[in-house]
Amino acid sequence: MTKKIKRLAITGGTHGNELTGVYLINKFKNDPNLVKREGFETIIMHNNLKAIKKCTRYIDKDLNRTFTIEGLNDPNRSSYEDVLAKVINAKLGPKGAKDRNCDFIVDLHSTTSNMGLSIVIDNDSKLTWQVAAYLKEMEPRVNIFRWLGDTEDASFVNSISEDGFAIEVGAIPQGVLRADLFFDTEKLLHYMLDYFEKLNNEKFKKIYTSIEIYDHIELLDYPRDKNGDITAMVHPNLQDNDYTKLSNGDPLFITLDGEVIKYDRSEELYALFINEAAYYEKGFAMCLAEKKVIPI
């Protein structure tokens, strides 16, 4: 039997310019009954209020990369986001403890990439994958991406809990609200809350045994010169076509002078988070993933 939960957190505004989560949390704060269900408590919170006020991704550093065990336990890390991460961890965690203040965390994000409705998972907990499978069943447009990360330890907000994930929706420009994806995200949250209510009350006993996912393989950077400047852009055929399968010879990038750089691998992989604006500073143009069905 899948374990029951006592407290669930829905968080938004981890990145202050991703307004879907910011305004869904506003909506839920104005009417908490929207996320109230029998059998467990739902916590709703904005994560980075200062960045939200400035409508910027972060103040000093990416908050969603500051929840590593090492960072949370390092008293010398004193940037705004490092200190904030410790506060959030104390409220929802602490991370790594046997008894944590929150049993499941879903963190709301948007992306400039055309990712549609995506769930990003960075853990192997049974409950997390069961919830993802249920959401995929309820909303077939959902895609599941297993993220291996760009830090040594899991660093997302939801990693404070053993169970949880991020919801990524796009394409949405930074600092912009988009109505269809706002309501699509809200619908997913209601499906999730209903699932936990039924699960806790033993009215839902279905166990999913497998799920189709996109499994993280590599973070691929733009072509760059010796000074680190980008020398090529995402090819127009690939732009806005997230979850596209790449075969040997497919156009991948195009230089500023118009020369096409092709995908040069025998292995067919899928491109995700294509040309995400926030990832320019992180040094990658897209994620490459393998599509597969895994047991859960």
Q: H or E element: which one contains 154?
A: none
Strand partners, 210: 295
The Cα–Cα gap between 115 and 137 comes to 18
The Cα–Cα gap between 49 and 84 comes to 10
Give the pLDDT confidence score for residue 3 in this predicted structure: 79
Give the pLDDT confidence score for residue 176 in this predicted structure: 98
The Cα–Cα gap between 236 and 258 comes to 11
The DSSP string of 34-77 is GG-BTTBEEEEEES-HHHHHHTSS-SSS-GGG---HHHHT-TT-
Q: Is 116 in contact with 242 (CB distance < 8 Å)?
A: yes
Give the pLDDT confidence score for residue 239 in this predicted structure: 98
Q: Quick one: which of 192, 184, 194, 193 has its CA closest to 141? A: 184
The structural domains of the chain, ordered by start, are 7-208 (3.40.630.10), 218-288 (2.20.25.160)
From residue 57, alpha-carbon distances to 11, 64, 279 in Å are 15, 10, 11
CB atoms within 10 A of CB 112: 19
Q: Is 136 in contact with 142 (CB distance < 8 Å)?
A: yes
CB atoms within 10 A of CB 245: 11
Q: Quick one: which of 124, 199, 193 has its CA closest to 165? A: 124
Provide the token pair at 183.
């309501």
Q: Is 133 helix (H, G, I), strand (E, B) or coil?
A: helix
Convert the pLDDT of each residue in 107-160 to its tens digit: 999 999 999 999 999 999 999 999 999 999 999 999 999 998 777 788 999 999
Question: Residues in the chain with pLDDT < 70?
Answer: 1-2
From residue 201, alpha-carbon distances to 163, 189, 195, 198, 288 in Å are 19, 18, 10, 5, 40
Instruction: Specify the pairing of strand 164-170 against strand 116-121.
Output: antiparallel
Provide the token pair at 104.
């499941």
Provide the token pair at 116.
């549609």
* pTM for this model (two decimals): 0.96
CA dihedral over 56, 59, 61, 62, signed as positive or negative: negative
Give the pLDDT confidence score for residue 153 in this predicted structure: 83
Reduced DSSP (H G I as helix, E B as strand, rest coil) percent helix, strand, coil of the chain, to 5: 30, 25, 45
